[in-house]
A and B are shown apart, each in its own frame.
Chain A
């Protein structure tokens, strides 16, 4: 069964149809790219998938569960995690605390144990700490555990944001223009990180991206939209040679 499946997804703002009948299905271990020119409706799709907007019509299923009308945090619990185009970290907190916050629901003690620091509190906090460190090790960031997030270099901040999203144990990871603002070196590292994620985690990835090289380089399937409508679907090679895509991207 597909981890993410949308049917007839439509979003209207007043009279304007921003997204029209968007359909996509992503399976486990798949990496799908969503591209399109500025204003094509990519971010609107993202906002619907993550619960920021409620679609006018259509359905969204994550891991088989209907998520239309759910709030963003409920969708995270169901298994849809995201990153933001302009990185959003808990800047004044330590790197490890950024991860621990995403672990929130896996830490199991109530307010009273938290206040009076029962055995359970210590055990669960210890577990949370160890898990978070393990997680940072996967991303080779364990040395930064006690660094404040705002003091990380740009590429590492993006990495931390992806790590934080993965720490919520998602079924699908949605990346919103992860290469935005990166230099070629950082973009290269990002591609390596995405490869690594696909090796180590059993998840689906949806990537919105502007950087064509990145998308062509790592996605096995690409969906192209323009004016809110899907104009092409296929492998990178098919997309590269699709006349509609060329027209949209290069102009006539």
Chain B
């Protein structure tokens, strides 16, 4: 029983990282209807930024986080400006191929700059397990969970209560109408990319702290799983991304603990296929048909 609870908490922690990354997919999809394949690589770059901040500049943990998130936000804005903006009116497949290209470009750039050998993330959070009523929980797990939930609340407040947040919702609802209403669409898209990328970087830093390794292809699997999480919860929906992230994290942890660690990836994609068959709009999605 205690073991199960322990796994449950681990699942929540892993899930919160997926949720953070899934938010980036969902925000961007909501606003420009593009699967931003490069999002996972922004997460990976975020981890490298944090590594540099700790090793080269010797920053403390919180400063590292902020440093990494700011740089990732800038990276996200740049990617959108360089690669996606020129293709807004192009066929969807062109934009998707660009996103794939961008994703690989960043991966290989990291490979050339940092090399293929994994970098080891130094222990930025002291790793002594905390004992709560007989249940052993790692500090990393707790910090991950707390930070993720904190930033999700911040995001929620931002979207609901601030002007740029409302603009984001308006643009994802109807781009043309937003232009007429005087919303600066380009700036709103940039803000969306910045926020999504910063959250992705946060996920990347937490991921690299939890798994201690940073390498150019580290984001491929968590990126994919986070996307599955976004679809599971309902792509384009912010609460959906969070819910999906937690579910996927939970499923993965429990599969690894009780079934097979090798199979866990296959099961996650099995879930995706199942969602597409049963309810393609996701758990929280409304069944709406495309307007013709």
Q: Do chains A and B touch in the complex (CB under 8 A)?
A: yes
Q: Count the A residues whose beta carbon is within 8 Å of the partner chain — how many?
A: 4
A84 vs B292: C-alpha distance when bound (angstroms): 8
Q: Which 5 A-B pairs have the closest CB atoms?
A: A52-B292, A53-B289, A52-B289, A47-B292, A84-B292
Interface string of A140-169 (1 = CB under 8 A from B): 000000000000000000000000000000
A52 vs B290: C-alpha distance when bound (angstroms): 8
Interface string of B264-292 (1 = CB under 8 A from A): 00000000000000000000000001001
Interchain nearest-CB distance for A152 vs B (Å) = 20
Chain A hits for B292, CB < 8 A: 47, 52, 84
6 A/B residue pairs, CB under 8 Å, sorted by A: A47-B289, A47-B292, A52-B289, A52-B292, A53-B289, A84-B292
A203 vs B276: C-alpha distance when bound (angstroms): 40
Query: Which size bracket describes the interface of B in this complex?
Result: under 10
A53 vs B287: C-alpha distance when bound (angstroms): 11
Interchain nearest-CB distance for B287 vs A (Å) = 10
A51 vs B289: C-alpha distance when bound (angstroms): 11
Q: Which residue of A lies closest to B290 (CB)?
A: A52
Q: Which residue of B lies closest to A50 (CB)?
A: B292
A203 vs B177: C-alpha distance when bound (angstroms): 39
A84 vs B290: C-alpha distance when bound (angstroms): 14
A52 vs B291: C-alpha distance when bound (angstroms): 8
Chain A hits for B289, CB < 8 A: 47, 52-53
Chain B hits for A84, CB < 8 A: 292
Q: Which residues of A from 81 to 140 have beta carbons under 8 Å from B? A: 84
A93 vs B43: C-alpha distance when bound (angstroms): 42
Q: Which residue of B lies closest to A82 (CB)?
A: B292
Q: Which residue of B lies closest to A14 (CB)?
A: B286
A53 vs B292: C-alpha distance when bound (angstroms): 10
Chain B hits for A47, CB < 8 A: 289, 292
A53 vs B289: C-alpha distance when bound (angstroms): 7
A84 vs B289: C-alpha distance when bound (angstroms): 16
Chain B hits for A52, CB < 8 A: 289, 292
Interchain nearest-CB distance for A32 vs B (Å) = 21
Interchain nearest-CB distance for B278 vs A (Å) = 18
Q: Which residue of B lies closest to A13 (CB)?
A: B288
Interchain nearest-CB distance for B94 vs A (Å) = 14
Interchain nearest-CB distance for B79 vs A (Å) = 29
Interchain nearest-CB distance for A96 vs B (Å) = 23
A47 vs B290: C-alpha distance when bound (angstroms): 11
Interchain nearest-CB distance for B92 vs A (Å) = 15
A169 vs B289: C-alpha distance when bound (angstroms): 27
Interface string of A38-81 (1 = CB under 8 A from B): 00000000010000110000000000000000000000000000
A52 vs B289: C-alpha distance when bound (angstroms): 8
A47 vs B289: C-alpha distance when bound (angstroms): 10
A53 vs B290: C-alpha distance when bound (angstroms): 9
Q: Which residue of B lies closest to A54 (CB)?
A: B289
Chain B hits for A53, CB < 8 A: 289
A152 vs B289: C-alpha distance when bound (angstroms): 31
Q: Which residue of B lies closest to A46 (CB)?
A: B292
Interchain nearest-CB distance for B177 vs A (Å) = 14
Interchain nearest-CB distance for A76 vs B (Å) = 14
A47 vs B292: C-alpha distance when bound (angstroms): 8
Interchain nearest-CB distance for A175 vs B (Å) = 14
A107 vs B289: C-alpha distance when bound (angstroms): 31
Q: Which residues of B from 221 to 235 have beta carbons under 8 Å from A? A: none
Interchain nearest-CB distance for A120 vs B (Å) = 34
Interchain nearest-CB distance for B173 vs A (Å) = 16
Interchain nearest-CB distance for A159 vs B (Å) = 20
Q: Which residue of B lies closest to A53 (CB)?
A: B289
Interchain nearest-CB distance for B4 vs A (Å) = 40
A46 vs B289: C-alpha distance when bound (angstroms): 14
Interchain nearest-CB distance for B286 vs A (Å) = 8
Q: Which residue of A lies closest to B292 (CB)?
A: A52
Q: Which residue of B lies closest to A85 (CB)?
A: B292
Q: Which residue of A lies closest to B288 (CB)?
A: A13
Q: Which residue of A lies closest to B286 (CB)?
A: A14
Interchain nearest-CB distance for B276 vs A (Å) = 18
Interchain nearest-CB distance for B290 vs A (Å) = 8
Interface string of B68-92 (1 = CB under 8 A from A): 0000000000000000000000000
Interchain nearest-CB distance for B36 vs A (Å) = 27
Interchain nearest-CB distance for A126 vs B (Å) = 33
A74 vs B289: C-alpha distance when bound (angstroms): 18
Interchain nearest-CB distance for A114 vs B (Å) = 25
Interchain nearest-CB distance for A14 vs B (Å) = 8
Interchain nearest-CB distance for A176 vs B (Å) = 9
A82 vs B292: C-alpha distance when bound (angstroms): 12
Q: Which residue of B lies closest to A88 (CB)?
A: B292
